[in-house]
Structure 1
Amino acid sequence: MRRWAIARMACPEPGMGHERRVLAILDGPVMTSRPEEGDCLILTGTNGSLQLNQVIN
C-alpha cells in the first residue's frame, strides 16, 4: 500500500474534491499517454483518468 505525504489542509470545495480524485487515481498503477496533438499528458489509473494541460505564462 502506498502512503502519500500530503498536508490535507481541508481546503474548501472544489479543492478537496480535486485532491481526493487525484489521490484516488494515483493510488494504483498509472498509465501515461500523450495525444499526438495537444500539450497535455493523460494519466489513467484504475480509478479514472486525469488530463494535465501545459500552461505557459
Structure 2
Amino acid sequence: MKNFLNRWLGRKRCVICGRKPVDPSRYYNDEGRAVVVCRTCVTYAERRAFRKR
C-alpha cells in the first residue's frame, strides 16, 4: 500500500534527464501533455519549444 501511494503521490521525474527534479518547472510538450522539467534542463526544454505551463 505504501509503495502504491508513493508512486501515485510521489515526485515526478524530469522528462529530459530522468532524475528527480530539484526545482521543477512545468511545461507542455509537443503532444500537449504537462511534463516536469528540472532547473538544469530548462534551457534545453525552451530550445525544444516546450510551452510554459
Same fold (TM over 0.5): no
| Structure with greater contact order relative to length (CA < 8 Å, sep ≥ 6) | 2
TM-score, normalised to structure 1, is: 0.31
Q: Larger helix proportion, structure 1 or 2?
A: 2
Q: Larger strand proportion, structure 1 or 2?
A: 1
